[in-house]
Amino acid sequence: MSTLCSAHFPSSPPSISKFISDQPCLTMLQTHCTNMKDFQKLYAHIIKTGLALHPFAATRILTFCASSFGDINYAYLVFTRMPNPNLYSWNTIIRGFSRSSTPQFAISLFVDMLCSDVQPQRLTFPSVFKAYAQLGAGHDGAQLHGMVVKLGLERDQFVHNTIIYMYANSGLLSEARRVFDEQMKLDVVACNSMIMGLAKCGEIDESRRLFDSMPTRTEVTWNSMISGYVRNRKLMEALELFREMQEEGVEPNEFTMVSLLNACAHLGALQHGEWVHDYMKRNHFKLNVIVLTAIIDMYCKCGSIESAIEVFEASPTITRGLSCWNSIIIGLAMNGCEREAIEFFSRLESSHLKPDNVSFIGVLTACKHLGAVEKARDYFALMMNEYEIEPSIKHYTCMVEVLGQAALLKEAEELIKGMPIKPDAIIWGSLLSSCWKHGNAEIAKRAAQRVCELNPSDASGYVLMSNVQAACEKFEEAMEHRLLMKERLTEKEPGCSSIELYGEVHEFLAGGMLHPKTREIYSLLNDPSFEFQT
């Protein structure tokens, strides 16, 4: 970016003959540049020769910078240097921001465009609708929908589909359905948006009905339905749909695999997860950072930490993004390998990457399980002083758990009171849990009061306080908290566990009777001759 800001542009555009002689420079931009480092070397020459002032060349430069290879902020600087950007240039920069992590700037630029001499055309609107969709701001995007109707563009298929996508992604299903029903014929892109939107809003059965009614499906359709099942914790259905996808001869891609790996991770279905991983190896899937992270995360959550380490160590260094490091650090910390988690954190610090807030949550979690109070204090200070990361509520919760584990309950309470951010029910609940473990009824009473104030419908505060009172042999007070919980109509969410047996995942709720083998299970457990073996 410094090249662009400090460069001295010639006072006038180059001549046509000069432009033609420098045409290979633009060809090189299109065929040889694959990253911003290559581009900046070439761009210095383009500026020096004055080629950057030619409208055609400027447009080529803007297109590259706004692409997936480029840098959208750099693209914006290029755009601001263009004396009279044409319609294509406006569409390019708006489209670039709509695909970026800051889609709100696409909307701001669209407003600027309305005030310029160039007016939007049919290809402008889809990018702006996508920006509203990314922001989940369908209500605001409705004004743009009105403009499209006035311009008579609502029947344009491209525009029509992005309107549906905007409403569906914003959770405005009634609006999305109304626009969807206006179609003259069933469009696969619009159907994909509706499937995604319905699943996002929890209407997974309606999503499946639409999926089944489609005469043709793309790989996006299958991926949307599989990820919808995963989002709604219909994990076995996701795996079954993948089997159907194979039977239909549809080739899965990286998005399919990530959804399946996430399903296996949530289920703890190691055998299924290993099969997915083997499938990827057999079919030579490219392991980008997203896929690699999903594989490591799956093995960690399924308890196969050795496999997670093996995948991490076998991956090329360039492929290991920060998310891969974070996944292995947290996985080690959660699987009883605290010292190894701290070792991997040190390796991360020595790499070309810098730890982020998630990295510190991982290493602080390791300190908690290890009981390493001083190490946790050092890491907490390192995060703020060396890496200038502002602690979030999750970091403070980790520190409270570390201190609570070491019975430093007074220090933990003071840490919560001195936080620059408002404590939530979770952090007070962590303190309350430590009080129950160490039998401190005094601090427990204050913590329980905060939990009940911040989340009165949650039963955990009442239950933990009752347990603390019972542990201190204050049985009347314990009973009072139980009665108070019932009076306020709170319910403790039943615990849920799952096991994988012979490739099949079985889920159980505490006190639940829904498993098909419930009668046989209880009969066996009540059999005095039965001996449970681990």
Low-confidence ranges of the chain (pLDDT < 70): 1-58, 68-70, 455-516, 522, 524-534
| CATH, range 391-493 | 1.25.40.10
**Residue 321, burial from CB neighbour count under 10 angstroms (0-12, 13-18, 19+):** middle
Percent of the chain with pLDDT over 90: 48
User: Tell me: the pLDDT tens digits for 367-422?
Assistant: 999 999 999 999 999 999 999 999 999 999 999 999 998 999 999 999 999 999 99
Q: What is the pLDDT of residue 8?
A: 41
Residue 286's identity, in one-letter code, is: K
**Model pTM?**
0.68
Q: Could you give the CA distance from residue 166 to residue 129 in angstroms, rounded to a whole number?
A: 6
Q: What are phi and psi of 442, to 5 degrees?
A: -65, -55
CA–CA dist 325, 30 (Å, integer) = 34
Is 124 in contact with 90 (CB distance < 8 Å)? yes
The alpha carbon of 136 is separated from its chain's Cα centroid by a whole number of angstroms, namely 15
The phi and psi torsions of 514 (rounded to 5 degrees) equal: -90, -15
Cβ partners under 8 Å of residue 146, min gap 6: none
Report the alpha-carbon distance of residue 295 to residue 515 in Å, rounded: 30
Residues 6 or more apart in contact with residue 493 via CB below 8 angstroms: 459
Q: How far apart are CA 268 and CA 291, in angstroms?
A: 18
pLDDT digits (tens, 9 = 90+) for 247-281: 998 888 889 999 899 888 988 889 889 989 999 99
Measuring CA to CA, how many Å separate 472 from each of 276, 438, 479, 483? 50, 10, 13, 18
Nearest CA-CA partner of 177 in 159, 201, 197, 153: 197
d(CA 112, CA 349): 43
Do residues 361 and 377 make contact, with C-beta atoms less than 8 angstroms apart?
Answer: no
In sequence order, the 6+-apart residues with CB closer than 8 A to the CB of 273 are 261, 264, 265, 298, 299, 302
Residue 195, pLDDT score: 93
In the prediction, which pLDDT does 1 show? 39
Distance CA 512, CA 374 (A): 43
Q: Would you state the pLDDT for residue 62?
A: 73
| Per-residue confidence (pLDDT) for residue 119, from 0 to 100 | 92
Question: Quick check: helix, strand or coil at residue 158?
Answer: helix
Pull the structure tokens for residue 238. Answer: 């996701």
